[in-house]
Structure 1
Amino acid sequence: MILHLNETLANACGFAGMACIIFAYAYSTHAKAANPFVLHGVNLAGAGLLTVSLLVNLNPASLVLEFFWAAIAIWGLAKAWRARAGA
């Protein structure tokens, strides 16, 4: 355990993060033109919540996955921000 947090709360964070990522995937599949701020913002929130859970219930491979998931979401948000600023 890296983070000192109640295991039940950590698991709740993990489930909330999972729900965020599933929502973002469903949203991107369903929307004709997905809002990149919603898509990447929800993915980033999901990765953050899952990371909290993984810092209590350590799983190194999943932790690395969430790092990349968050990095891609941040990249997507930066790209959307630049596109919006240029418009």
Structure 2
Amino acid sequence: MSIIDWIGFAGVTILLTAYFLNLAGKISNDSTIYIVLNIAGGSIACIASILLHYIPFIILETAWTLVSIVGLLNRRKPSN
């Protein structure tokens, strides 16, 4: 496996860990840790996709990361 494969594997592992922890009821989908894991995993997977020049997954992982960042920012806003 190449370094790009390992980078992609790391990102996907983080994303799947968040997903399975959520399914197992260990973390909720609106918890900070879940959102941070999605940002980290999506960003790392996006880097691997960029290095591979694979546009469909660059778009997917960029969107995944941006949506997660927005979710994190919305959590930090005080509620009225």
Is the contact between residue 41 and residue 77 of structure 1 (CA under 8 Å) also seen in structure 2?
yes
Task: Find out whether 1:27 has 2:21 as its counterpart.
Answer: yes
CA RMSD in angstroms, aligned pairs only: 2.1
Is the contact between residue 21 and residue 27 of structure 2 (CA under 8 Å) also seen in structure 1?
no
State the 4+ residue runs in structure 1 displaced beyond 3 angstroms. Answer: none
Q: Which has the higher contact order (CA 8 A, sep 6+)?
A: 1
Equivalent residue letter for 2:45: L
Flag the structure with larger Rg. Answer: 1
Tell me by how many angstroms 1:27 deviates: 1.5
Partner of 2:74: 79
Is the contact between residue 14 and residue 50 of structure 1 (CA under 8 Å) also seen in structure 2?
yes
Unpaired runs of 5+ in structure 2? none
TM-score (norm 1): 0.78
Is the contact between residue 16 and residue 46 of structure 1 (CA under 8 Å) also seen in structure 2?
yes
Equivalent position to 2:9, from 6, 15, 40? 15
Tell me by how many angstroms 1:21 deviates: 0.7
Task: Please give the alpha-carbon distance, in whole angstroms, between the structure 1 residues aligned to 2:57 and 2:6.
Answer: 17
Task: Please give the alpha-carbon distance, in whole angstroms, between the structure 1 residues aligned to 2:15 and 2:26.
Answer: 18
User: Identity rate of aligned residues, in percent?
Assistant: 21
Tell me by how many angstroms 1:51 deviates: 1.2
